[in-house]
Structures are given as structure tokens and as C-alpha cells.
Chain A
Amino acid sequence: MKQRTITREGKRFLVAAFLIAVAAVNTGNNLIYLMLSLMLSFLLLSEVLLNINMKDLSLEVFHPAPLFASEEAVVTVVLRNNKRRIVTYSVSCMPSGALRPAYFVKVGPRGKEEQDVGVLFPQRGLYRHGHFPLRSGYPFILLAKTRRIAVEGSVLVYPALRDVSGIIGEGGSGRADAARRSESGDDMYALREFRHGDDWRKIHWKASARTGELYVKEYAEYESEKVTIVLDNLLPEGGALFEKAVSLAASLARYFIENGCFVRVVSSGKIISFGKGEEHLFTILDILAVIREEETWGSPAQDGRDGFFITVMKSRRHSNPYAATGEAVYAEDL
């Protein structure tokens, strides 16, 4: 879909062209016809060259770092010129969530150019790229054209993360302190392959050297290092409070994982089992990015091996089977 607009300068140019046309017809002077022809050629070339300039372009969007709601980040926009011989000049593109357009001065034939653009998504969720507006006014300043161009893929925006050290009670912070000090205990019981986010100090160098792959030591999960975060995602609809609750749950998960705890997240219909390290944090964030409120609580009841419980409630009016266990934090308090 294309949309053409006449710029302010273009409108004045049109008025001037009209007046010159009147002068040409009135005088019959061929040199004024020549001036009129010049102006018409500028208008025609504006249209034709603009179309050619915006033809056969494709866009890709990459996210070099995870995106969090309400947090400014950078995405990389790649503009490809699929024309065989013609250079594309001066094209700007506005990806969804972008703070300013990505501007490409020149893209050679069969070439590509990259631009980093700051983005800010106010809410978590899965955003499909869909159609991005591509705009250009090249070569002159008379016309501008906007063309919506389909971009494959989507972007997952994680819940906003906040500092929770002042929110959680003594039970939670004590558990984090203990986990940080214990360094997960000394009882190694297995080796596993290195995963992104694992502590380098836990690499088993002998096994790694023998196999040629990195292996890390797995230690026994002590009860004292386990934290279960319960997210209250039961209906009725919480609206903004629910969003705050999700953000709080994600922030708690980060807090405990950064302190070396084994963290589990329990919500209606979704349980993310115990784990630690950065990779586990992103497993949790992946779920929390798209979590919704449910009608019934489908998760199993607590057992003795669940460690410390911290329940994230939308408000004090809501109830939850886990609410009585461990600590509770309330989104409405934020």
C-alpha cells in the first residue's frame, strides 16, 4: 500500500507551475513554455524516481539484546535494496516501538545497510512486526511517499524489571543472602554441559579437557536455596495491577537467580520448574512475557520440597491457594 503526500514546498511549486502555465498560455511565449516544461518535468520525475527509489526494498529487524517493557533498547533495522542496478537514496523507516525513524542515506544495488534505532515498548508481550512504514521524498522535496512493507517475525518484550530489594521481606532476603554465601553447597552430584549464564568457576576443567566440550559441576539443590514464586494470575481481571504483578514476579525471579537461588515460578496452568542461571531466568521471562489471567488455578498444591514461597498478589482483595504460605507481596503496593 502506498500513500503519496505533497510537501509544503511541493504545494508552492504547484502554485508557481500553475501561474507559469497561465503566463505561457497568455503570452504564447515559447520560452515560458520551456520554463513550464521544466517545472512539469520536475513534478513527473519526482513521482517516477520516487517510485523507482522505493521499489524492490525489503526490511529485516534484529534485536541484539533482550527487550524489556518501558525500557529503552536498541534494535537493528536492515534495509535491503533488491534492485539490480539502481541505488536507493534517502529512505526512512519507523519500526514499531521506535523512538525515531531509521534513516538510510544510500543503499547500493543488491546491497544492504544497517541502522540501530532506539525502541521503547510500554508493555510486555509478543509483538508481530507486520507492516512497517517506509518513507522517502527523494529526489526532490516536492513529494513524499509512504509504503508499508511487510517484515517477517516478531519481538518478545519481557516484563519491566525493577529493584525489589526493598519490597521483599526478611524471609526472602535472608534466603537470597544464604544462597549467595553458600555458593550452592559442596555436594557435587553430577556433570552437565555448560549453558549460557553458568558460573565459569563451576566448569569442570578435567572433564572439559577430556571431551573437548565445556562441562559444569552440578551441586545438590539444598532446600535452603530453593525459592518458589507464585504469581496470582487468577481472574477477575486485574488490568494494570496484573501487569505490575507480572513485572514484580519477573523482578523477583531475577533477584533470586542473581543471588544463586534455584527458582521456580508457579502460576495458573503454568509451572516453571526449579532452575538457576541466566538461561533459566530467560525461560521464566519468556513465559511471563505472554502470561495471561486464567479462570481456574490448575497448578498442583505445594509439597515439602518447594523451598521458600513468595506469592505475588494483584491486591489484597484477591485470594490464592498459595497466599497463606511464605511471604506475599502486593502489586497494589507499588
Chain B
Amino acid sequence: MPKISRYLTALLGVTGCIGLLVTGEINPVMAAGGLAIIPGYYRVLRGREAAPAWVIGAASLLTLGVFAFDSIVSGDVFLAVAHLTITFQAIKSYDLKEPWDHLQVYFMSLLQMVIGSEMSQSVVFGVVFVLFLVSLVAAMVFAHFVKEGRGAHIRLARPIVVISLLSVTVTSAFFVVLPRSSYTFLGKSHTKGIRTTGFSDRVDFGSFGEIKRDSTVVMRVELDPDIPAPYYWRGMSLDYFDGTEWRNSSPRQSRIEKSGDEYVLNPHGRSGLVEQKIYLEPIDSDAIFGLTEIMGIRVDSFSARSDSGGAVFLSRKSSRRVNYSVLSEVRDDYPGVASPRYLQLPRGMERIRELARTVTSLGRSDGEKARMIERYLKRNYSYSLEPSPPVRGRGLIEDFLFYGRKGFCEHFATSMVLMLRAVGIPARIVNGYCGGEKNQYGGYLIVRQSDAHSWVEALIGGQWRRFDPTPAVAAPQIPSLALFLDSLKMAWARYVVGFKTDDQKAILRALSSLLASPSFPAVGWKRLRMYGLLITLIGIALASALLLLRGVKAGRHGFASRKYLAMRKLIGVRGRRAGATTPGEVMRMSQGSSVEEEIREFLGMYVEDRFGKRPMMPSERKRYGLLLKSIRTGLKKRRG
């Protein structure tokens, strides 16, 4: 096998393994055998012999044993197969004899990429995919020549670049037009969701403290029309508190009716609504988020459900990235029905009840009382993610209100709910996300785990009104580069991972309107920016290809010829006739110049190296380079 084919096989083998490693799901112990791939391909590149058949056989048997053990212990056969492919890639690197062995490595890498695509939705996987595509094109083209018995000494850089660009284009076209199914029929997704708490029927008090230290992006949101902050992304509301845990006392869910492609929660028109296109990362909850009050949801899902607390859930078998649009009538209150469960209080509330009465003593209405509690909590308590642990025998909220006086959103919201209930105002806690930073590169909001938040809804005058007793905390500034990288992640999530049938329809509609339109249709600034980014990326790809080709062209010539060509260009020999110009003619052209002597010596050295079959010694090469430098300087001075 030619050396280049061995390199490409090594690259593809390693790329396949990287495709799995970037998913972050690989167990290092079970895939430890894969480390052998490094010495394996080192041997291949050094042209060493393949390992004896019995060694390969024994290693394969051992690997199968480990696979069986892995499958049984982890209970995840899919992941065990991923580990198996990594170890087999390593074994194969010691068993590359025939061209077909190399093709087996290509197929194995393909399998690894497919497994990886089921385990990860990260943009890093996209980068590995592009590397894989280019490597596979190069390997397949060389494999063709190897099959014809002509693998060595063929310059294929240009066709490989061209075919790679064509492959990217055609792959993109296929990706856009292939009919989609957004449902999982058999098996389950192997994408691990972001571990989060607060979005289930039972939530331990204090669990948000850990989440709020996590800056993982949970969702990205495009708003149409853009509205100013604050943004309260409502998730679930909970009504029952036993002193240590919040619960939903009425977890019964009902199906939401679908009208066309929309699940309608409240009949609505189109005007005055804010559409939120939400790209929700895989999380371990079926709850979805949106601004209050959610009127309708467009999502690819078998069904959608809601509970009595106004939370919306999707019917999902898999925890994978979900894209959906929420239509909301954005406001701070919306209609609600009173229920005794919104007045439930745990035992041992006397001190809190007393405090609530004191704080609200001057309040004349429920609304005013609620405002007073909210203001009281905001002004008299401070925000901390590390509140002091409660003293044994003392309630969590009692400890916060009367001793610690430091806490995070859960402390503030729970305290307010209990105080409101203590004065007879129905209230509930709402868990969701609050805020989000604007990314100027993509014009969308980034919502992180650290934006997880609890707030309060109080039923006042038949309306649920939102209160947020947590004091404001300055959000950390995100560097521009991080925001730019996030915009790339968003593009990946939006246009690749989250591409769906609706997008296909939109592209078709855009194309048909473009064809039907007598003039070029008006393009919005947002869209223009997207096209700009696309054109820039294509430009970068083309420029890289051209640079590569230039490099290949230069690589055709040896050291002496390369310098000679540069010198010839310096003295003005260019264009079609340059190839036919002899060193003697170059000498004649430079007669009378200030660097004539240098050129004479330079040409002498070139001719001796090129045609005299006496390659330059290192010292001569140095001199040769210096001569070119002085010729360049001399000619520049003359022009200057």
C-alpha cells in the first residue's frame, strides 16, 4: 500500500474513534483497549509487518468477551457496541495486509460516525463529520487507484479538493430534500439529557442551588417580535409544600387539542402574540418552556399534554433536542381558579404567619399585600448560592427568614408563597428559567442552567399574577468569542440537528416564490446576515482549497527550483512565456542591474543543482537563500 493510503487509513480510523469520544458518553475503562490504536498506526506508518494471525484472533476473542461483559453490566448494548468498535479499530491497525483491510477500516469508521450521531448532537461532532467526509473522499479516491495497482506517485490534491467540495454540496442538498420522520419507532434515543431538577412532580427544596452554578446552555430562543426583558420562561408550577419538598398535588394531565399543526391551549388570533422559536437542549424532563400566557404550541410530537398548573408536556420517548414554537400573549397575569390546595401550609408556621401579618398589616388589598411581601423579601434578605445550613429541628424557611437571611430564588419564592398563604392569598411556586443573554451574532437569547429560577404566582382578583421576590443579581459578562461560538452552535442546532419538515416546506415555498416573483424579493436584515455568514463560510472553504492547491503546486518543485521561480518572478518574468525562459535569458535580462553579480551567482548555483546533478550542500542552500533575499532587497531599493 502506498504511504498516503496508510496515512489516510490511520486518519479515518482515528477520526471514527474521535467521532465517538466527542459524544462524551464513552466509558474510558471499557474503551481503554482503543489506546492501542496509537502504536498500531505508528507501526503501519513505519511500514512494519502485520501482527501474527493468532495474536489478532486472541485479541478479537478477548474483545468480544469484554463486549459481553460490558453489555450485561452497563445494560446498554448500544454503548457497548460503541466501545467494541473502538477496540476493533485498534486491533485492525495491527492487521492491515490487503487493500480490503483498509476498506474495512473505512466501513468501521462509518459505523462509528453513525453510532456517534445517535449519541451526540454537539457542533463538535459536525467538525468531526467534515473531517471524516474529506478523509473518506481522499481515502476512497486513493483506494480506487490502489485497486488499479497505481497507488503511488499520483498527484490527486486538486481532484480531492474538488470532489470534497462537491460532496459537501451534494450532501447538503440531500440533507435538505430527504423526507423526514421526526418520530422514533423502535428503540430509544441514546442522547443523554442535561440533568436538571425542578421540572418534575416532586422537587426537593434547595435543589436549584446546584443547578445555578452550571453554565450549560439549556435553550436558545428567537423572539418574533423582539420584546424587552424580563423574560420568565415558565415551566411547571407546584402547589404542595411539606417543609422539605414541593409537590404537584394534582398531577393529572389532559391532552391538548391539535388544530392544524398547532396544539391550542387557548383560542387566539394571530395579532398581539409573541412567537418564541425555542431550541431546547436535551434535558431529563418532558416539560417545555415559554413566556406566560402560552396560547398555542407548534411542535413535532405525537401529542402534548397540560396539567392544572398550566405546565405543558410533550410526549417524547427520547431525550433529544426539541425545537418548537410557542405563541404567547405576554403579560404578568392571566385568569385562574381558586382552590384550597393553593392555601396549603405545612406544620409549624406560626412565626412565619406572624411575620406575614406584620409585613402586610398596612395592606388594604390582596394585591397590595402581595407587593409588600415581595418588597420586604427583596429589601431585607440577601442573595447567596451558599446559604448556611439550617440548624437541626428548625424549618428550612424559618431558618432563612429569621436566622440565615441569605438564600437563592427557591428560598425567596417559597417564603413568599407561604407568607401569602398565611394571609389567605392563594399562591403557588413556579419553576422555570428567567432571563437569558442576547447574542448579537445570531440575534437570539441564550438561556443557561444558571438561569433556572423560581418565582411566585398569586391568585388575586381571579387572575394569576406573577411576583418575583428574589433580589436582582448582576449577570456575568460573556466574552464576544464565546458568544460567536455559541452562535455557531445555534446554527448547527437550528439548521442541522433541528432541521424538520416545516423547514423543507419553507425552503420550497421560498424557492417557488423566488421563481414566481418578477423581481428579486426583499430580504430582511436577519436573513441577509445569515446569507452573509453562509457566503463567508463558502468563501473560507474556497480560499482554503485554493491555498491548498497553491501549496501543492509549489510542492512540485524542489528547493532550488522554487527559489529560482521566485527570483524569476522578481525580475519580471511572468505569464505564459515564463516557462520558456531559460536561465541564460534571465541573466541577460538582469544585465546592468545593481544586483547583477548576485543574480549571476544565484543562477550558477541553480544550474549546477538542477542540471549538474550535484545537489546543494546545507551551507550552499543557506547562501542560495541569502542571495535571493539580497536580490529582492536590491530590486526593491531600485524601484523605491
Using a CB–CB cutoff of 8 Å, the interface residues on chain A facing chain B are 9, 12, 16, 20, 23-42, 44-45, 49, 87, 89-90, 92, 103, 105-106, 137-142
Contacts and interface: CB of A to CB of B under 8 A. Distances in A.
A47 to B, nearest CB: 11
Contact of A28 (B103, B125, B182): B182
A193 B496 CA distance: 82
A36 B159 CA distance: 23
A44 B173 CA distance: 12
Contacts of A32: 114, 117-118
B7 interface: no
Contact of B159 (A30, A87, A103): A87
Interface of B: 103, 107, 110-111, 113-114, 117-118, 120-121, 125, 129, 133, 136, 140-141, 143-145, 147-150, 154, 159, 163, 166-167, 170-175, 178, 180-187, 189, 318, 320, 496-499
Contact of A45 (B125, B170, B181): B170
A12 B118 CA distance: 22
A31 B144 contact: no
Given A34-B171, A45-B163, A139 B144 contact: yes
B154 A28 contact: no
A28 to B, nearest CB: 5
Contact of B166 (A24, A45, A106, A137): A45
Given A16-B107, A45-B167, A49-B163, A29 B148 contact: no
B121 A26 contact: no
A49 B140 CA distance: 14
B175 A34 contact: yes
Contacts of A33: 175, 178, 180, 499
Nearest to B103: A9
Contact of A137 (B133, B144, B183): B144
A38 B167 contact: yes
A35 B148 CA distance: 28
A38 B131 CA distance: 13
A117 to B, nearest CB: 15
Given A35-B114, A87-B159, A137-B147, 17 more contacts: A9-B143, A16-B107, A20-B114, A23-B114, A27-B184, A28-B182, A30-B498, A31-B120, A33-B178, A34-B496, A35-B110, A37-B172, A38-B171, A40-B178, A45-B167, A90-B144, A140-B143
Given A26-B187, A34-B129, A41 B114 contact: no
Contacts of B184: 26-28
Contacts of B173: 37, 41
A190 B167 CA distance: 76
Given A33-B180, A34-B175, A105-B154, A141 B117 contact: no
A24 B114 CA distance: 10
B496 A31 contact: yes
B186 A37 contact: no
B165 to A, nearest CB: 11
A26 B185 contact: yes
Which of A35, A40, A92, A103 has the largest count of B CB atoms less than 10 A from its CB?
A: A35
10 contacts: A16-B110, A26-B186, A32-B114, A32-B117, A34-B117, A37-B172, A41-B167, A41-B173, A45-B167, A138-B141
Contacts of B182: 28
A203 to B, nearest CB: 41
A28 B180 contact: yes
Given A26-B184, A27-B189, A29-B320, A139 B114 contact: no
B178 A36 contact: yes
Contact of B144 (A44, A45, A138): A138
Given A16-B107, A90-B145, A92-B148, A40 B185 contact: no
A25 B183 CA distance: 8
Given A31-B496, A45-B170, A140-B140, A38 B133 contact: yes
Given A89-B159, A106-B154, A139-B140, A35 B167 contact: no
Given A38-B167, A42-B140, A103 B154 contact: no
Contacts of A141: 103, 140, 143-144, 147
A90 B185 CA distance: 45
Contact of A41 (B117, B145, B174, B498): B174
A42 B496 contact: no
A239 to B, nearest CB: 40
B468 to A, nearest CB: 37
A34 B147 CA distance: 28
A11 to B, nearest CB: 12
A139 B141 contact: yes
Nearest to A49: B163
Contacts of A27: 118, 184, 187, 189, 318
A38 B121 CA distance: 17
Nearest to B111: A16
A141 B163 CA distance: 14
A51 to B, nearest CB: 14
Nearest to A32: B117
Nearest to B153: A105
Contact of B170 (A24, A41, A90): A41
A44 to B, nearest CB: 6
A31 B121 CA distance: 7
Nearest to A92: B148
Given A23-B114, A103-B148, A31 B141 contact: no
A33 B189 CA distance: 15
B171 A31 contact: no
B174 A31 contact: no
A137 B146 CA distance: 12
Given A37-B174, A42-B140, A103-B148, A31 B159 contact: no
A41 B149 CA distance: 26
A148 to B, nearest CB: 20
Given A35-B110, A137-B144, A25 B181 contact: yes
Which of A12, A34, A44, A106 has the largest count of B CB atoms less than 10 A from its CB?
A: A34
Contacts of B175: 30, 33-34, 37
A106 B318 CA distance: 51
Contacts of B129: 31, 34, 38
Contacts of B178: 24, 33, 36-37, 40
B140 A41 contact: no
Contacts of B136: 38, 42
A106 B154 CA distance: 9
